[in-house]
Amino acid sequence: MLPLLVRSAKFLIGGAFIFVLLIALYGTLTAEAPTNTAEHEFHKEHKELALASDGPLGKFDLAQLQRGYQVYTEVCAACHSISMVSFREMKELGYNDAQVKKLASDFDKNHAKQPTYDPKTGDRGERGNTLADRFPHIPYSANGTPPDLSLIAKSRHGGGAYIYSLLTGYANQAGYKNEKGQELLKEFPSAKTPTGLFFNPYFANLNIAMPPPLTSDGQVTYLDGTRATVPQMAEDVSAFLVWAAEPTAQSRKQTGLAVVLFLLATSLLAFGAYRSVWAGVKH
Amino acid sequence: MSFPWARHYEPKNPLMKWVDERLPLPRFVYNAVGAGYPVPRNLNYWWNFGVLAGAVLAMQIVTGIVLAMHFHSSAAEAFNSVNGGIMRDVNGGWFLRFAHANGASMFLTVIYLHMFRGLYYGSYKAPREMVWLLGVVIFLLTMATAFMGYVLPWGQMSFWGAQVITGFFSAIPVVGEWIRVWLLGGYAPDDATLNRFFSLHYLLPFVIVGAVILHIWALHIPGSSNPTGVEVKGEQDTVPFHPYYTAKDGFGLAVFMVIYTALIFFAPDYLGHPDNYIPANSLSTPAHIVPEWYFWPFYAILRAFTADFILPAKLWGVLAMFGSILILFFLPWLDKSPVRSANFRPMYRIAFWVLVLDVLVLGYCGGAAATPGFIIMSQIAAAYYFAHFLIIVPIISRLETPKPLPNSITEAVLAGKSGSQASETALSA
């Protein structure tokens, strides 16, 4: 009896798991379909956005990054920090030393300085930003929690395209319809945007605390004379934030091209070596 | 041990002779991966993955040691030290970080291919059971190491992954919650968790190296298997490992490096999850908590158990998830067929390819959101997974009539049916 039990242990264990799975399967099949939510039916995938830095050989468009920084500092920096980016890295946008120093001191005046603490007196104070500093944290006390934007392009599905879609995607909720022609407030009357929030179908739960930041053409006066339409400003700041999320991305791709070509050549040589070593050995 | 015709080490260089007489390390290497190890002459490209796994392990250890020099293992600083310090301030830090993160994926990829090679060609059967058992141990250690490594950057997926995985232990009756708190060093993942995971993440790779040495030692007792599954009969069946397989593995390694570096330099975040670029926040749960892709099949098995039946559903899921790996330890005794290679086992070969498909389906479901459609798919696929190992394979190994085996490797090679050509294997499969 016992040897038989040992020998059939595999069937018993396997049978037990399968039996429980079949019970679970029956439960799933007979369960009521989950009710759809407003997010599920009305959340929109990000729009398409082509940036110069896309693709394995893409390079940053420095003029666009400078415009994007201008949008960031004149609009976004009212609430959002980029506290992982250093002022010295701004030189990679094509600014010279004097220009970056100017950017840092402008940031003092318009946004925030570096906090200091004197351990002898216990005094807390501030000093101006230098090239060696990261961008300072920007204090914010109103409704919502503006996320730090240093990594925003990496931390959202769609990256730059998502940022662009969000910035240009605010809509009037009354009468809003999705692609299927369903009207949001008719299908989900309870999904009405609460006071203090703003309707944006590109945001995960449709209601975002950030008021539309880019509202009118010419909100920023570009130094290079580009016409500052809302889509233009949204695209430029998206490009800037893609850069900010990984300033080394361009040198990464360029190094990669050399590395992969070198290794392809190595593979060819290694294949030749393999063939010559095995020549005459049938296998 | 080795075959009687294995070449013996004869140092030509007087320095090597001097060393060899006092410490026979050169002889040891020569017999392990040099001309002193005779290997079947008909190994195909599927036999490259063992060497590749060893190579990635070495690269992971090197990049990991340098990354550890720049990493701060505190809950307050970890995210910044990776995404601010290593990625932006350390020279070439982005390369180290991307090489290490994608190296984990490449390691698991070659391990999976190596394991499926073993399953197809019956490499787990006598007299190589110990090689297989040690391989499963390496697989388990690698999964633990990869999981703890993913926690270290302390992003949202790191934090919630740690929360979910340690939560498995709370499914154990009575003492479960106590064990979970003990493992975490607190009620939720925090400094204590991060520090112990860092400590273990640095330790386990060296335990893996030890297990790899035993794995190779155990392999050298019977010698390598081969695509026909027929044992070596004489000297004409083998070639010395060096230069024959060093050359073939060298080519395999070069091709592997092309794929690995293409991933590092052109798509370093492709296999990652955007949420891990958000700092850990214990007050904000991500909408979809998913582990890294290499855990998806097991995650799907875990989530497939949705019904309380005698035991709670969560406990069934955890038992099944761990069970799905532990089954592999018993495989040499579940499959009683004396024929190793699936090339000569018509029924087993079909079952093998269905299993491959089944694991791919499980992987796809594990990475997808837990909607009813995917849950149904994972329930069916998980049931098949257990059926394959515990019911189908044991029964097939009794019922099946294998095709006639070649008398020797050399006979198969001369007949052009050695299975050494990758294309031929693919066609016959």
Give per-residue pLDDT as tens, A137-177: 999 998 888 999 999 999 999 999 999 999 999 999 988 88
Residues B211 and B315: their CA atoms lie apart, in Å, by 30
Per residue in B375-392, pLDDT (tens digit) is: 999 999 999 999 999 999
Buried/exposed code over B47-69 (b: 16+ C-beta within 10 A; e: otherwise): bbbbbbbbbbbebbbebbebbee
Of residues B362 and A56, more confidence is placed in: B362
Residue B428's pLDDT band, with cuts at 50, 70 and 90, is: very low
Residues A148 and A133: their CA atoms lie apart, in Å, by 16
Q: Report which of B204, B198, B222 is spatially closest to residue B70, judged by C-alpha positions.
A: B198
Buried/exposed code over A26-55 (b: 16+ C-beta within 10 A; e: otherwise): ebbeeeeeeeeebbeebbeebbebebbbee
Dihedral sign for Cα B10, B14, B15, B20, please. positive
- Give chain A's length: 283
Is residue B397 annotated as part of the catalytic site, yes or no?
no
Would A3 be classed as within a structural domain?
Answer: no
The half-sphere exposure of A114 on its side-chain side, counting CA atoms within 13 A, is: 15
Residue B1 has pLDDT above 80, yes or no: no
- Name the minimum distance, in Å, from the CA of B203 to any CA of chain A: 30
Would B25 be classed as within a structural domain?
Answer: no
Per residue in B214-251, pLDDT (tens digit) is: 999 999 999 999 999 999 999 999 999 999 999 999 99
Domain count, chain A: 1
Q: Which token pair is B234?
A: 């004489």
Residue B133's pLDDT band, with cuts at 50, 70 and 90, is: very high
CATH number of the domain where residue B115 is located:
1.20.810.10
Domain count, chain B: 1
Q: What is the pLDDT of residue B8?
A: 92
Would B48 be classed as within a structural domain?
Answer: yes
Residue B34's SS3 state is coil
What range does the domain containing A152 cover? 38-86+144-252
Would B29 be classed as within a structural domain?
Answer: no
Mean pLDDT for the stretch of residues A237-241: 98
* Structural contact between residues A170 and A200, judged by C-beta atoms closer than 8 angstroms: yes
Per residue in B6-35, pLDDT (tens digit) is: 999 999 999 999 999 999 999 999 999 999
Residue B422 has pLDDT above 50, yes or no: no
Would A282 be classed as within a structural domain?
Answer: no
Residues B205 and B57: their CA atoms lie apart, in Å, by 8
Task: Verify cis geometry, omega within 30 degrees of 0, for the bond prior to A146.
Answer: no
Residues B156 and A35: their CA atoms lie apart, in Å, by 28
Would B77 be classed as within a structural domain?
Answer: yes
Would B186 be classed as within a structural domain?
Answer: yes
Is residue B89 annotated as part of the catalytic site, yes or no?
no
Mean pLDDT for the stretch of residues B422-428: 43
Residue B426 has pLDDT above 80, yes or no: no
Is residue B125 annotated as part of the catalytic site, yes or no?
no
Q: Does A155 touch chain B if contact means CB atoms closer than 8 Å?
A: yes
Would B13 be classed as within a structural domain?
Answer: no
A281–B382 CB contact, under 8 Å: no
- Name the minimum distance, in Å, from the CA of B207 to any CA of chain A: 31
Query: Is the ipTM beyond the 0.95 threshold?
Result: no
A interface mutation test: which of B232, B266, B302, B321 has the most A CBs within 10 A? B266
Name which of A10, A21, A267 is nearest B379 (Cβ-Cβ): A21
Would A274 be classed as within a structural domain?
Answer: no
What range does the domain containing B207 cover? 36-428
Would A247 be classed as within a structural domain?
Answer: yes
CATH number of the domain where residue A229 is located:
1.10.760.10
